[in-house]
Structure 1
Amino acid sequence: MTLHLLKLCVGAETVEDLEAFVAARMASAQTPYTWHQTRMVPKRRDELIAGGSLYWVFKGQVAARQKLIDIEPFTDEAGISRCRLVLDPTIVRTRRQPRRAFQGWRYLRPEDAPDDVVSTTVEDGLPDDLREALEHAGIL
């Protein structure tokens, strides 16, 4: 069974901010993947890497996801256990879904995950705030 993770996107206020961060990391990296480091290691690794994604929450709304490639536990230079979530650099926008603030990450069942936004020529150039307002009004 596939399982997803849900995580607050700290440091990026919009999907565009996350896209810029990932693009900068990829420009300097020697790998085809990007990653996110976290303190706790998910125990359900096999379910997560069997097609799961990391869903990002921006300002109380799930708005994007990245496919999980691997989960790599490691110990940092201070001797603290950490985890690297290895991600596909492609960021997929999702339908916005409200989420309350939480710490760390949460498991997300596939049936609870928001649908991907199907890109159309009208939606392609819209800024996030305008897209969010149109989705909230039921237009998109």
Structure 2
Amino acid sequence: MEIRGEALFRHELGGHLRRLRHERGQRLADVAERAGISPQYLSEIERGLKDPSSEMLAAIAGALETGVGAIAVEVGRRMQPVRPVLRLDLTPAIGPAATVPGTPRPASPGPASSRWRPDPPGTPARAPCLRPCAVRPRRSPRRSARSRPRPRR
């Protein structure tokens, strides 16, 4: 399962847990009972709707007779990008041009003001902004006179 071209961890985790359970020929209700969780919750995890805590994942892994590390490694392997992923920060790209000092960077398309420039020495590192600039914070809806509850008589 993929959302906007990149798989979410919970989707890959759920798919892997379901594959493990099917390979072992176990029923969902039996695994959930051994893990100490409800079958509905395990089903939601397997469908990628819920993100289990580390304690829940350890209980499910124990019920499937495997380890959390083995599950995490397999899910991580499945999430390896097949194609390059767009980076959100402005750090220089990794490659031959970035490792050789004095090698000029290729100019980015657009006006000169939008080109990447390094921060002056001594400037603390900044985290990239992940929120789109056009998004405004949501305001709570105003209640009109009709939407207010009427007093009882």
**TM-score bucket of the superposed structures, by smaller chain:** under 0.3
Give the alignment's TM-score, normalised by structure 2: 0.20
User: Bigger relative contact order, structure 1 or 2, given CA contacts below 8 A and separation 6+?
Assistant: 1
Instruction: Identify, as 1 or 2, the structure richer in helix.
Output: 2
Scaled by the length of structure 1, the TM-score of the pair is: 0.21
- From the two aligned structures, give the one with the greater strand fraction: 1
